[in-house]
Amino acid sequence: MNKKAFLLGVKTVSWIIGILCLIILVGIGIKIYNSASSSKQELKKAELNLERIQNYIEIVEKNPGVEKEFFIESISDKIEWSISAWPFNGNVPNECLEKFVYENCLCICLKPSMTITNWIKNWKDYLSECNEKSKCIKANEKISTFDKTSDTLPITIEKKGVTSLKIYNQKSTGIVLEKI
């Protein structure tokens, strides 16, 4: 009788361990799914923000001297995203090369902004990150970005709420997009 009780206990423990392993595997699967889903949502938000910016680019292209202020929505409350203008030092993100065959482009990339000094030193790292996860649009004219609130390139998109921007067309430098 003790032998049967011992075997029943071993089987019960085996079942409990099996169920716990199954629960852990399901939990990992859910985490992976949520991560992939979150990434798709972030890229969709980036795309919607770029469409909004594109509308204002078209306005200032047609109306030199006009200055417009507007805002874009936060993309993620966990990860920093930023807006950058290309080309820089003759380079552009892969999405610009693939979609626009090396034209002027504006991208929203998964990467924090940098001080101007750090940008000049580390822009290749930023480009590499931009190649990993970004959305880009073609610009008909040269475009420049600048974050007046922190003297950084590119423009940091706020993690929560909205980011206020100003856009205008300078004949000498092209279209300027600033964070205000």
Question: Per residue in 113-128, pLDDT tens?
Answer: 566 667 677 788 888 8
Which portions of the chain are predicted below pLDDT 70?
A: 1-10, 27, 29-38, 102, 112-117, 119, 151-152
State the pLDDT at residue 72. 94
| Cis bond before residue 87 (omega within 30° of 0) | yes
Which region holds residue 151: left if phi is over 0, alpha if psi is between -120 and 50, else beta? left
State the pLDDT at residue 1. 52
> Would you call 158 helix, strand, or coil by DSSP?
coil
* Nearest-5° Cα angle at 144, 81 to 170: 145
Backbone angles phi, psi at 103, to 5 degrees: -115, 175
For 78, other C-beta atoms within 10 Å of its C-beta total: 8
For 50, other C-beta atoms within 10 Å of its C-beta total: 20
Residue with tokens 């940098």: 114
29-38 pLDDT tens trace = 666 665 555 6
Between the CA of residue 119 and those of 88, 113, 179, what are the distances in Å? 10, 8, 17
Q: Is 0.85 topped by the overall pTM?
A: no
| Widest pairwise Cα distance in the chain | 95
**C-alpha dihedral sign at 27, 31, 34, 40:** negative
| Cis bond before residue 93 (omega within 30° of 0) | no
State the pLDDT at residue 166. 95
* Strand 174-179, strand 143-147: pairing: parallel
Cα–Cα distance between 92 and 110 in angstroms, integer?
15
